[in-house]
A and B are shown apart, each in its own frame.
Chain A
Amino acid sequence: MKTKNEILEIIYNSIDELNLQKEKKLSKEEKTKLFGKDCDLDSLGLVNLISIIEDNIEEVTGNYIPIADERAFSLESSPFKTVGTLAEYIQKLLNEQ
């Protein structure tokens, strides 16, 4: 069982890894947008970030959880809208394990 803050820490570490490959850095805040208008991440960047987060979750929890959702690119209900919604979504996936 992981708290939202623990998951946020995993996401922030993953953003650090991603930022090493990026010119325009993604900020480490709950409100940071992960796709859509005014977002510093393109769809490829989001795919890369999710892949890094999956690795880091596995490292911390020992569980591999594919973070896949058909609402990924839905403006209204995507769990990947912001860093905060992603953390909540990952928490839900971990609790379902």
Chain B
Amino acid sequence: MIITGTSNGIGKFLAKHYLQKGYIVIGCSRGECDIEADFYRHYYLDIADETKVNSLFRDIKKDFGRLDVLINNAGIASYNHSILTSVSTVKRIFETNVFGMFLFCRESVKIMNKNNFGRIINVSTVLVPMKLEGEAVYAASKASINTLTEILAKEFYPFGVTVNAVGPTPIMTNLIKNLPENKIQDLIAKIPLGRLGVFEDVVNVVDFFIKPESNFISGQIVYLGGV
């Protein structure tokens, strides 16, 4: 199993969860990662760096010969008014959130194809349907992920690979910890089920998508929090 963005937040939690369940987990991040486990391997890389990503997939092919699950979790957020957002920020967000995610999908399916089995889960966000001011670029990048999820599902199904997405509500991770308190309270007020998410909410949906019995579920985006 590959999980991108395992240095903190949801990615780190998912990595620990699936290590506990007995998976061999390959994680990656740009920043420091402190996960230590026999069946964990970490790559320090920028997920949009095609050369480094290709080399990660070559290692997987050589060392394991198979890949069952990809969780595209790595992402960067940005809360800002569009007028105050530089194009370089837009590029940086799309490079990681969309280009990097696409690259991992493309290379994963080539290995999954060999066993005619695979599960790809992309991490989206409720901010896509909520369409909040200040989240234009971040939400647009995640909307791209949703569209990619829906179309890749059709392209990859002949290879036995399902592609789905989970759209968490904000969780108190690094992505939102810098938001002003009143903004977080405003956000919670707009979530129908009335609270921030917890990591377990996300794991529950990912577990469901991974199940062998979920082989007839693809191209779906499941939003949390009643959104």
Q: A-side interface residues toward B, CB under 8 Å?
A: 44, 48, 51, 54, 58, 64, 66, 68
B69, chain A: closest CB distance, angstroms = 19
Contact indicator B113/A48 (Cβ below 8 Å): yes
Cα A58 to Cα B58 with chains together (Å): 9
Cα A66 to Cα B50 with chains together (Å): 10
15 A-B pairs with CB atoms under 8 Å apart are: A44-B158, A48-B113, A51-B110, A51-B113, A54-B110, A58-B58, A64-B54, A64-B55, A64-B57, A64-B58, A66-B50, A66-B54, A66-B106, A66-B107, A68-B106
Interface of B, secondary structure class, is helix
Q: How many B residues, CB 8 Å from partner?
A: 10
Task: Please name the residue on chain B nearest to A58 by beta carbon.
Answer: B58
**Contact code string B89-115 (vs A, CB < 8 Å = 1, else 0):** 000000000000000001100100100
B119, chain A: closest CB distance, angstroms = 19
CB neighbours (8 Å) of A66 from chain B are: 50, 54, 106-107
- Other 11 A-B pairs with CB < 8 A, given A44-B158, A51-B113, A68-B106: A48-B113, A51-B110, A54-B110, A58-B58, A64-B54, A64-B55, A64-B57, A64-B58, A66-B50, A66-B54, A66-B106
CB neighbours (8 Å) of A64 from chain B are: 54-55, 57-58
Cα A61 to Cα B55 with chains together (Å): 15
Q: Which of B112-139 contact A (CB under 8 A)?
A: 113
CB neighbours (8 Å) of B50 from chain A are: 66
User: Which of A44, A51, A54 counts the most chain B CB atoms within 10 A?
Assistant: A51
